[in-house]
A and B are shown apart, each in its own frame.
Chain A
Amino acid sequence: MARLTSRSPRWWRGVVGVLAGLYFLVPMAASILFTVNVPGQGFSLSAYTGILSASGFGQSLLLSLELAAATIVVVLGLLVPAVLAVRLSAPKLRPVLEIVCSLPLVIPSVALVAGYSDVLQWGPQYLSRTPLFETFVAVQNPGFPVVLVLGYSVMALPLAYRALDAGMRAVNVRTLMEAARSCGASRWRAVFQAVLPNLRGALLNAAFLTLALVLGEYTMGNLLGFRTFAVWIVAIGGEQAQLSVAVSVLSLLITWALLLVLAFAGRARSRTSRRSAVSVAPALIPQESA
């Protein structure tokens, strides 16, 4: 063994680590420096204190949070029954579910938005004399654009499905269900009081991933003309560069903290089995979310 260690020098590990550390930390550090160093004034926290009073901040953040809440409800409401059914009684449905939940990966978000924007024009073009037209107007209400909830749910589906599916793998849903049933619980009671509490981690995971996706989402909000949080950040960047960088830094740090907590929680639970320790990877599918 001693020979092996001397043959494979350890120094390269240090070099790789330092270079990677520099690459990933310098932009964050420089951004923070950029926001606190006001030209001609020196150190100042005004970019951060100004966030709350910046026009549009509260409104756009609130809109994005509301959209996120609605998206989480829709995604979990649709996915949980389907995923549970696959585990409990309809295993044949599994490939169907897998394909349906992977479909959004084939349409990049810009292309999906192009499709949505075309569909939204059908309203005025073909349906202006029908009651459906009202629906088209309603889903685009700038106060709460339902159409964004639809699009975000589609985008979040692959991510949420992987998270739920990975969580279910760790819990034997069928045994839980049968145990609860044989203790006399009704089917609904078994689901709500035995199965779902045991899936808390997976549900939270799916919800947080969806939250992070919606909060950072720029493409659809921008191209359909709604003022979501990310759209506001870009808009304000034109006039107040420091403020927009300060908001960016904060939102990155908050999202990362949130997701790190999740990732660590997931890891701590699955520490015992090495195979599931890497299950974070398939749960995270490439979509530059924002």
Chain B
Amino acid sequence: MTPKLTTRSGGGFLAAVPLLLFMAVAFGLPAVAILTGAFTTSANAPGGVHATLSNLTDSVHGAYLTALLGSVKLSALSALIATVLGVPLAQAVVTSRRQGLRDAVMSASGVLANFGGVPLAFAFVATLGNAGVLTTHLGLADHGWSLYSFWGLVLVYLYFLLPLMVLTIAPALEGLRAGWREAAQNNGATTLKYWLHVALPVLAPSLLGGYVLLFGSAFAAYATAAAMVGASVPLVTLQIANALSGNVLVGQGNVALALSLDMVVVAGLVMAVYIPLQRRSARWLD
């Protein structure tokens, strides 16, 4: 038996080799390109390619800084709104007595959370854009409404962030034991007090984890914003796209890679916070 197992495990490692090789090329090469490119001058820069920190310093100054901060602000705010609104929504779903409704909402959330992008942007343009159905029928333009603005983007982002929040928080809400609530009420706690002193502290890791996940999702979003606002709202993803399309001074093309590195750092931080929190709430739910 033993020799057979050893040969099998050799085969086991071999089975993963194609995947690892593929990732080394299709993921490793662009990752290396970002890392090296961020610290070197562009090929067409005067003086040729040499090591520099100017890409990175440029990426956190001027218009690029505005874009970076714009992205952070947009993601932080829309994630916060989605968290605050998502919890009652998820609570309404998980405490619903109709199993069918719960299943439908959870499935719909799984779908909505993932696939926004271009079609979503166009659906909102048709609804609330300048010639949108609601804009024209309700005369929203007279009240100063514009979809192609910071708050317009927040409204659209919520369309995929809210379902994502419902998905992440629902298991934790399902894990709240009815007994805890009864115990709190027997001790004279009001519903508000129960939520403040029992439920929310228990939910805190899941809530924070969900918030961070939403932040990361909004931060990385590009297609929705690109199809909707063009460049009227400064966002780091739009700036990278802009730089990639050649809209930079000659020799500064590598600023796109420096901005990408900035994004990778933020996304890495997000995962570094999210994974331990997720582990923690998963352990508690079991």
Contact = CB atoms under 8 A, between A and B. Distances in A.
Interface of A: 4, 7-8, 12-13, 16-17, 20, 23-24, 26-28, 30-31, 33-35, 37, 74, 77-79, 81-82, 84-86, 88-90, 93, 96-97, 100, 102-119, 121-122, 125, 150-151, 153-154, 157, 159, 209, 212-213, 216-219, 222-223, 230, 233-234, 237, 241, 244-245, 247-249, 251-252, 255-256, 259-260, 263-264, 267, 274, 277-278, 280-281, 283-284, 286-290
A155 to B, nearest CB: 10
Contacts of A115: 29-34, 37, 257, 260
Contact of B220 (A118, A209, A264, A287): A287
Contacts, number: 317
B187 interface: no
Interface in B114-133: 114-120, 122-128, 131-133
Contact of A12 (B8, B88, B124): B88
Pick from A4, A34, A100, A244 the residue with the most CB of B within 10 Å.
Answer: A34
Contact of A284 (B18, B110, B127, B267): B110
Given A107-B260, A218-B117, A286-B217, 19 more contacts: A34-B133, A82-B18, A85-B12, A86-B16, A93-B13, A111-B267, A153-B26, A218-B226, A219-B222, A222-B226, A230-B223, A234-B226, A241-B131, A259-B114, A260-B108, A267-B103, A280-B110, A284-B167, A290-B116
Given A24-B112, A88-B12, A289-B114, A114 B20 contact: no
Given A85-B11, A100-B19, A107-B31, A118 B119 contact: no
Contacts of A7: 185, 191
B171 interface: yes
A254 B30 CA distance: 33
A240 B174 CA distance: 47
Pick from A35, A118, A157 the residue with the most CB of B within 10 Å.
Answer: A118
11 contacts: A23-B159, A28-B123, A88-B8, A89-B8, A107-B30, A107-B264, A111-B260, A115-B31, A153-B22, A223-B241, A248-B123
Contacts of A109: 220, 222
B263 interface: yes
B13 A259 contact: no
B240 interface: yes
A116 B244 CA distance: 11
Contact of A106 (B159, B245, B267): B267
Contacts of A288: 116-117, 160, 217, 220-224
Contacts of B52: none
Interface residues of B, number: 99
A167 to B, nearest CB: 15
Contact of B107 (A12, A112, A260, A286): A260
B260 A110 contact: yes
A114 B95 contact: no
B239 to A, nearest CB: 9
A90 B134 contact: no
A208 B244 CA distance: 31
B117 A290 contact: yes
A168 B105 CA distance: 25
Contacts of A154: 23, 26-27
Contacts of A259: 110-111, 114-115
A136 to B, nearest CB: 12
Contacts of B154: none
Nearest to A245: B126
B234 to A, nearest CB: 14
Given A34-B132, A125-B43, A280-B107, A90 B117 contact: no
Contacts of A222: 226, 241
Contacts of B106: 263, 267, 277-278, 280
A27 B19 contact: no
Interface in B177-191: 181-182, 185, 191
5 nearest A-B pairs in the assembled complex, by CB-CB distance: A290-B117, A115-B30, A90-B12, A286-B217, A108-B220
Contacts of B181: 4
A81 to B, nearest CB: 4
B267 A105 contact: yes
Contacts of B233: none
B227 A107 contact: no
A223 B106 CA distance: 34
Contacts of A96: 16
B271 interface: yes
Contacts of A256: 108, 111-112, 115
